[in-house]
Amino acid sequence: MSTLTLKPKAVPAPQLGRALDPRGNSLNLIRLVLALAVLFAHSWHIVGAGNGPTFQGENLGGWAVAGFFGISGYLITASRFSNRIGPYLVHRVARIFPAFIVCLVMMAFVFAPIAYVVQRGNLLGFMSTPTTPLNSIFANLSLRIVSYDIAGTPAAVPYPGAWNGSLWTLYFEFMCYLLVAFLGFLPIVKKTPWPVIAAFGLSVVLWANIGVLKPYMQSNLDFELAARLIPYFLGGAVVQVLSSRLGIHRVAGPVAVAVAAALILWVPGFGGQLAAPFIAYGLLWISTWLPQPAVVAKNDVSYGAYIYAFPVQQLLAVFGAYHWGVWWFTIAATLCTIPLAAASWLFIERPVMRRAKKSV
């Protein structure tokens, strides 16, 4: 009589803490706070008051972007590993591009014309003055921002010639999306967390040696910026691939924050990148206990706030609001940005994403 040997079922590894509740967290609020931190950091430049508060050589806006990338790395890696490549890319394009393109159009045909009239008293030559409005849209469509001014505006302000100093990060954000898309093709990546951990480690080593590598890359700024930001994204990805083992724990959370602070303080040059998984984990832990208003939970206006804050600030500066000083200027810019961010979410981002989900 033959016997059938059954393969024992794999026993899941014990989890340190609870899994992050996709609905029971305050990530919308945290991302909005990070977007407004970028607005605050830019206020110093736009009113001509210098770089503003810095920590270990990076200003507040830079650390906010690091937080954005960490949270994004966690969420986007989960999206890639739970979706085929087609739906994944559709969702990513739907999340980034439509609102971005509308923002380009708004800057070209709302913000810039107003500034042009303030500067010249009329709109004569607006459509043909370099950089022309149409070319400003076309030149930046790929997310790689190569044109910052529009028809010579904004001018006569402390920070002239740039309508949006925030959009440049979106190019590198989407680069990270494509990196995770590639990793998702590798079968081993879904079986063990080590390939993602190794990719993160390699990215940190790359940034730690950026000074050695720059001459071989002809000091390519895009390469340098990518090397600086990708570790933060992959740090969030590391937390995601370890999430089935780690979870979010009430003790591990504050420990992660403390470790992140220690690495940033004590490791010069690349401490922030090395601390990326701990930064991401700390933000996720905060999201489990930080309350957020119901309206923020239902409406993610952080992306709209991020892309519209800078042009709003520049338009305020065109009308002389930079004379108000950093704090009053920041309050005014925040109050003017939030309605645009809400409109972007309600009329562009949310409808497009809902349509994208139904189409795949």
Dihedral angle at the C-alpha atoms of 318, 332, 149, 340, nearest 10 degrees?
A: -130
Total domains present in the chain: 1
Instruction: Give the pTM.
Output: 0.94
Model confidence over 207-224: pLDDT tens digits?
A: 999 999 999 999 999 999
Residue 177 domain-assigned (yes or no)? yes
Distance CA 328, CA 334 (A): 10
The backbone torsions φ and ψ at residue 158, rounded to the nearest 5 degrees and listed phi first, read -60, -25
Nearest to 295, CA basis, from 1, 62, 32: 32
- Tell me if 154 sits within 8 A of 50, measured CB to CB: no
Task: Please give the average per-residue pLDDT across 222-238, as a whole number.
Answer: 98
Q: Please, which residues bridge with residue 153 across strands?
A: 150
Residue 40 domain-assigned (yes or no)? yes
Residue 254 domain-assigned (yes or no)? no
Residue 312 domain-assigned (yes or no)? yes
Distance CA 30, CA 168 (A): 21
- Give the range of the structural domain holding residue 340, as residue numbers without chain letter: 27-47+55-189+286-359
Residue 244 domain-assigned (yes or no)? no
Task: Please give the average per-residue pLDDT across 329-351, as a whole number.
Answer: 98
Model confidence over 94-117: pLDDT tens digits?
A: 999 999 999 999 999 999 999 999
Task: Please give the average per-residue pLDDT across 133-145, as a whole number.
Answer: 98
Please tell me the chain's helix, strand, coil percentages from 3-state DSSP, rounded to the nearest 5.
70, 0, 30
Residue 238 domain-assigned (yes or no)? no
Does residue 1 have a pLDDT over 80? no
Residue 130 domain-assigned (yes or no)? yes
The backbone torsions φ and ψ at residue 59, rounded to the nearest 5 degrees and listed phi first, read -80, 175
Model confidence over 174-203: pLDDT tens digits?
A: 999 999 999 999 999 989 999 999 999 999
Residue 202 domain-assigned (yes or no)? no
